[in-house]
């Protein structure tokens, strides 16, 4: 259970839908002393942090300053972030907890029967007594269930999973009142300790359970008594902590899915109090740090909503919308059905489940396995199965008796998966809304269809759309693979810090420091912050979140596009981002309340492949980065003369009219109407277009305005992405222009090999990973193979991944705009570290260690390690495979994970001798050429973020994430720990058992930190790694002057790092 974003709606007296806010405070006083938990998880506004007793929380100092506007960036900001960073730790043990120590709730079938009935099954006993009094003595004493168990728990195909098949089914003819906690590794130790390393076989990592996401009762509610019991692992009975209603619905859902185990935080995690043992607190903390794994690994996550479906007609409307093909749905969705669906969506937006901060973590981590469980009014005919058309022979779940028999107790839930929820929204938008319609030769935007029948439909659908962000998936089969082993739980949905803050900004969380744990779980961070210590020692939540993100190499909070401009009334109150984005943290400090960027990615988790966490020092942020010398202005006038008119035909006008402080609202509306009408007059737009071509804007003294009051008027030309999506001819024209630019770039002979480098930079920044439905991979480089590719010839626009921005245009097309406007692009060559030719590689290619490493690499990847002709996507898969192997080893041996990235990088260094060699650096300098949205010579840094250097690319890579920099006049020494290199005698790739933290090889030319040293002596969790150890050259101190867009090739981890401030 937890919290979720508040995007609720309300129907007012005019039957219009408007946004409202639910400020319910959650927590049940009657069980507060027994339920102190940070996972409390979403328990509500007064949820208690499990990291310390409740009385310790009274002196909480942390303040949620994210909503403060105009917060200045203090001069000591780096110093304070560095201090916060001292309280980081790694959650390595939490990953093992999710395999070996996790507990589940099952039916307690050890109970003594009374006349064949469960001793606490009062309803069945009373019913039997009533029948006996009426003379129905022939009825057997018990018509309840005899729970199925153990029959197929060994080797039958019906078992599928011997772990959960060994436990009893939940009764389905009456409500069970007795439960017990189980830990499969305790019940069957022989199953879980096999092999020389004692690792768990992947087939015994059970995923067949329901994880329950729900809200705890409001704190000010009258305490609700509990009547159910739970038998703890030690055999002692206690009253259940979760409400009876919550357990009833959880069991109902489990039976509907044919599952025997439930995970619910209140019951499956310790709920320590001030008198509890340290072991209870430690176990709960491990569980909290692993909650994202729990919800992601579950076969289903049940989101228990309080919304109730009240009529059979409403159920029929849902069934018609979800269970029929498109043509049938269009035919049968009558006005009454549409009204029922809109009402359901409106009430769903109002549910408290969507206002809790902890809930959004559970919803995001569950991904497509999230199922919304709606209450159903009694008497409705509800399907007893969520698994429509289930076939045990082909599904990955053990046999359940309900697969062959009907339920005895009707289900009280109507379940809609998150995929079905998205389908519901898509169908309703298609039926009710029309963004564009064709009128003659014009494309006209309208709001409703028909407007008088569905007032407010758009606001309801927009609010509902924001409840569950759509996931971005890869189009290649390899990146959708699922691999499970100890410590590795397959692919999972993740977001970055900007996305987490976007989803959390309207959700309630009583203890603000809990947001640090929530964000870390949503983002799948390895490095966490001690929320108790942070809460005790620091006031600013803003700085703590920034420290958390930077320590995990997440740079999303530094992208200006994550903070769209708010609607301003007066032009003098301009969006601060346009003036302040030149500084490193300025956007996050000035515009955090307006953050609005969320992209959920559900494929290979790239952060764990080559991540080297950022290090925050008192001088700045130490990051791996590439540095570019922008000193070339490449001529594209031939392309400009060919395509300028065609490009202009794709663009449309946008008028933004700001209200002046001297204007009344009536005067503003009148002037707005006058300007709009004036601009639509014949001849005015043609004169404006002439000015635009000459000046790039319409001057104040232009004849276009004549006597019109144009104060605060902004006139822009842009390509509307929504129009492009509606018109295939526009799509084809854009693709033709782009591919012609790529062809022309290859002909720029005066640039030599750099011309091909520029073409590859453009292509790799706009291409898709693979065209959906195509089996022919796209080439990584520009050449004849690309231009003759079947998808480029037949559907060229489908080969492009153009990112849509909030201002309804495409992010990467700035380079085409520049070519069509000026005929030129400013481009930069790669600047190697340490001089003209760079420095020698870390690894001596002649060493015995290198030979051993190459042998190991060949066995892992099955190809020659010196094979350099590896596609971008294949390289991603190789890294992922190797990372998973290392992660499994670390889980079994209880090792920290902070050494994964050095081994992954070392493998690639060995596999490609030129990776960090002098020759490789020289080759990069001679072949790499990138282009940036700048107006003259400068130096540009592209900070390395492993999440951005992949296919498919995340949206933020196409935004202003390149930094125009200059070297500081005074270069202070970087305050970061280093140590002498460490000689090792064994191969760390092949033998990680000899050391708790494998060292790295001795090589010529470079030294690296190898001992576990700390930057400062600060309180840290036991075994916490020093993530400030760097595996690269510490370079210049650079001042960030401006943030710009750029196009550069998909890059590998650079050897050098720089201090940015």
Is 433's pLDDT higher than 90?
A: no
Question: Looking at residue 39, what is its pLDDT?
Answer: 33
Contacts of 692 (CB under 8 A, 6+ apart): 698, 715, 717
Q: How far apart are CA 557 and CA 497, in angstroms?
A: 6
**What are the structure tokens assigned to 1030, written together?**
């760097």
Q: What does the DSSP assignment read for 124-176?
A: HHHHHHHHHHTT-TTS-S--S-----STTSSS-TTTS-HHHHTSPPPPSSS--
Q: How far apart are CA 318 and CA 331, in angstroms?
A: 14
Question: Looking at residue 456, what is its pLDDT?
Answer: 78
Give the three-state DSSP class for 972: coil
Give the three-state DSSP class for 122: helix
**pLDDT interval class at 1056 (50, 70, 90):** confident
Tokens 């403060």 belong to residue:
68
Higher pLDDT, 768 or 580: 768
pLDDT, average across residues 459-469: 92
Residues facing residue 113 across a β-bridge: 118
Per-residue pLDDT tens over the stretch 890-915:
555 555 555 555 566 666 655 666 66
Question: Looking at residue 353, what is its pLDDT?
Answer: 96
Question: Looking at residue 80, what is its pLDDT?
Answer: 92
Q: How far apart are CA 1020 and CA 85, in angstroms?
A: 10
Asked if residues 464 and 867 have their Cβ atoms less than 8 Å apart, the reply is no
Is 1024's pLDDT higher than 60?
A: no
Question: Looking at residue 744, what is its pLDDT?
Answer: 98
pLDDT, average across residues 922-946: 94
**pLDDT interval class at 928 (50, 70, 90):** very high
Domain boundary assignment for the chain: 1-109+147-559, 661-718
Under DSSP, the state recorded for 1052 is P
**pLDDT interval class at 477 (50, 70, 90):** low
pLDDT, average across residues 430-435: 68
- At how many degrees (to 10) do helices 514-523 and 541-550 cross? 30
Question: Looking at residue 387, what is its pLDDT?
Answer: 46
pTM of the model: 0.81
Is 841's pLDDT higher than 50?
A: no
Is 962's pLDDT higher than 90?
A: yes
Higher pLDDT, 1025 or 589: 589
Q: How far apart are CA 714 and CA 726, in angstroms?
A: 26
Q: Which of 89-93, 205-209, 562-566, 603-607 has the lowest mean pLDDT?
A: 603-607
pLDDT, average across residues 845-852: 43
- Of 595, 542, 421, the C-alpha closest to 956 is 595
Q: How far apart are CA 1018 and CA 247, in angstroms?
A: 43
pLDDT, average across residues 120-139: 63
Q: Which of 4-18, 235-249, 711-725, 935-949 has the lowest mean pLDDT?
A: 4-18
Phi-psi map region of 496: left, alpha, beta (phi>0 left; psi -120 to 50 alpha): beta
The share of the chain scoring above pLDDT 70, in percent, equals 67
Is 487's pLDDT higher than 90?
A: no
pLDDT, average across residues 162-186: 89
Question: Looking at residue 1003, what is its pLDDT?
Answer: 31
Question: Looking at residue 990, what is its pLDDT?
Answer: 28
Question: Looking at residue 116, what is its pLDDT?
Answer: 59
Question: Looking at residue 769, what is its pLDDT?
Answer: 92
Per-residue pLDDT tens over the stretch 261-319:
999 999 999 888 888 888 888 888 788 888 898 998 899 999 999 999 999 899 988 88
């Amino acid at each position: 259970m937890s919290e979720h974003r508040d995007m609720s709606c309300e129907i007012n007296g005019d039957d219009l839908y408007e946004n409202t806010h639910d400020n319910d405070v959650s927590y049940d006083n009657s069980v507060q002393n027994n339920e102190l938990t940070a996972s409390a998880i979403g328990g509500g506004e007064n949820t208690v942090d499990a990291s310390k007793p409740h009385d310790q929380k009274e002196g909480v100092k942390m303040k949620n300053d994210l909503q403060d506007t105009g917060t200045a960036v203090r001069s000591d900001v780096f110093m304070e972030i560095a201090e916060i960073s001292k309280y980081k730790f790694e959650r390595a043990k939490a990953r093992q907890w999710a395999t070996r120590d996790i507990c589940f709730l099952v039916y307690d079938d050890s109970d003594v029967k009374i006349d064949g009935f469960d001793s606490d099954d009062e309803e069945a006993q009373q019913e039997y007594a009533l029948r006996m009094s009426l003379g129905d003595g022939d009825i057997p004493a018990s018509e309840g269930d005899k729970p199925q168990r153990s029959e197929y728990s060994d080797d039958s195909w019906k078992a599928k999973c011997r772990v959960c098949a060994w436990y009893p089914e939940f009764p389905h003819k009456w409500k069970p009142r007795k439960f017990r906690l189980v830990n499969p590794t305790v019940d069957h130790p022989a199953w879980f300790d096999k092999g020389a390393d004692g690792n768990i076989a992947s087939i015994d990592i059970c995923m067949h359970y329901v994880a329950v996401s729900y809200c705890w009762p409001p704190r000010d509610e009258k305490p609700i008594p509990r009547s159910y019991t739970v038998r703890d692992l030690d055999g002692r009975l206690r009253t259940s902590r979760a409400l009876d209603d919550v357990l009833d619905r959880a069991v109902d859902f489990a039976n509907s899915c044919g599952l025997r185990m439930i995970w619910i935080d209140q019951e499956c995690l310790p709920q320590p109090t001030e008198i509890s043992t340290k072991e209870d607190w430690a176990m709960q903390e491990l569980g909290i740090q692993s909650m994202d794994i729990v919800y992601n690994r579950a076969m289903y996550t049940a989101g228990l909503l309080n919304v109730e479906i009240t009529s059979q007609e409403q159920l029929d409307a849902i069934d018609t919308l979800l269970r029929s093909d498109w043509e049938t749905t269009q035919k049968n969705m009558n006005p009454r059905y549409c009204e029922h669906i809109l009402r359901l969506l409106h009430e769903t937006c109002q549910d408290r489940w969507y206002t809790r901060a902890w809930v959004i973590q559970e919803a995001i981590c569950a991904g497509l396995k999230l199922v919304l469980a709606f209450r159903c009014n009694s008497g409705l005919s509800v399907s007893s199965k969520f698994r429509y058309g289930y076939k045990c022979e082909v599904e990955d779940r053990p046999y359940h008796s309900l697969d062959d028999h009907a339920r005895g107790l009707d289900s009280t839930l109507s379940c809609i998966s998150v995929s079905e929820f998205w389908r519901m929204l898509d169908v309703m938008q298609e039926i009710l809304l029309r963004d564009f319609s064709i009128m003659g030769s014009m494309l006209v935007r309208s709001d409703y269809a028909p407007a008088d029948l569905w007032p407010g439909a758009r606001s309801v659908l927009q609010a509902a759309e924001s409840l569950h962000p759509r996931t971005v998936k890869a189009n290649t089969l390899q990146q959708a693979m699922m691999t499970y082993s100890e410590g590795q739980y397959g692919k999972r949905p993740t977001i970055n810090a900007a996305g987490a803050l976007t989803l959390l900004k309207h959700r309630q969380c009583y203890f603000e420091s809990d947001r640090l744990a929530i964000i870390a779980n949503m983002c799948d961070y390895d490095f966490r912050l001690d929320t108790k210590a942070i809460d005790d020692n620091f006031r600013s939540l803003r700085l703590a979140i920034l420290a958390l993100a930077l320590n995990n190499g997440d740079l999303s909070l530094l992208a200006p596009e994550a903070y769209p401009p708010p609607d301003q009334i007066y032009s003098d109150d301009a969006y601060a981002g346009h003036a302040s984005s030149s500084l490193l943290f300025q956007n996050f400090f000035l515009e955090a309340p307006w953050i609005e960027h969320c992209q959920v990615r559900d494929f290979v988790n790239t952060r764990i492949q080559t991540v080297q966490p950022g290090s925050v020092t008192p001088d700045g942020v130490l990051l791996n980065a590439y540095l570019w010398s922008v000193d070339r202005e490449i001529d594209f006038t031939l392309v400009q003369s060919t395509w300028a008119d065609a490009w202009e035909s794709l663009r449309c006008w946008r008028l933004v009219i700001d209200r002046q402080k001297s204007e009344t609202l009536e005067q503003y509306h009148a002037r707005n109407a006058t300007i709009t009408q004036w601009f639509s007059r014949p001849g005015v737009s043609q004169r404006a277009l002439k000015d635009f071509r000459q000046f790039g804007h319409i001057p104040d003294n232009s004849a276009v305005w004549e006597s019109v009051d144009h104060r605060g008027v902004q006139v822009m030309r842009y390509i509307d992405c929504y129009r492009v999506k509606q018109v295939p001819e526009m799509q084809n024209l854009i693709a033709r222009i782009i591919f012609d630019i790529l062809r022309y770039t290859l002909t720029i002979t005066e640039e030599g090999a750099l011309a091909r480098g520029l073409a590859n930079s453009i292509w790799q920044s706009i291409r898709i990973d693979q065209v959906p439905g195509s089996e022919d991979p796209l080439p990584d480089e520009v050449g004849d193979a690309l231009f003759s590719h079947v998808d480029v010839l037949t559907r060229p626009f489908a080969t492009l991944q153009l990112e849509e921005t909030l201002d309804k245009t495409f992010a990467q097309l700035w380079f085409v705009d520049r070519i069509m406007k000026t005929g030129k692009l400013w481009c930069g060559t790669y600047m190697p570290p340490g001089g003209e030719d760079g420095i020698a590689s870390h690894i001596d290619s002649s060493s015995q260690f290198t030979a051993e490493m190459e042998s190991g690499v060949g066995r892992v990847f099955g190809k020659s390690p010196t094979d350099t002709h590896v596609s971008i996507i294949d390289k991603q898969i190789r890294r992922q495979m190797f990372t998973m192997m290392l992660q499994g080893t670390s889980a079994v041996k209880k090792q920290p994970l902070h050494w994964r990235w050095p081994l992954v990088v070392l493998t690639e260094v060995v596999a490609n001798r030129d990776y960090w060699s002098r020759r490789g650096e020289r080759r990069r300098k001679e072949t790499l050429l990138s282009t940036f949205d700048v107006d003259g010579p400068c130096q540009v840094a592209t900070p390395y973020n492993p999440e951005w250097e992949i296919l498919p690319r995340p949206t933020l890579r196409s935004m202003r994430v390149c930094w125009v920099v200059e070297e500081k006049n005074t270069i202070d020494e970087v305050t970061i720990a280093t140590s002498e290199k460490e000689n090792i005698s064994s191969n760390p790739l092949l033998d990680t058992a000899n050391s708790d933290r494998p060292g790295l090889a001795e090589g010529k030319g470079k030294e690296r930190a190898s001992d576990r040293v700390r930057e400062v002596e600060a309180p840290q969790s036991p075994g916490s790694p020093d993530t400030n150890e760097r595996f690269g050259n510490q370079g210049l101190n650079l001042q960030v002057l401006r943030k710009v867009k750029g196009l550069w090739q998909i890059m590998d981890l650079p050897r050098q790092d720089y201090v940015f401030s």
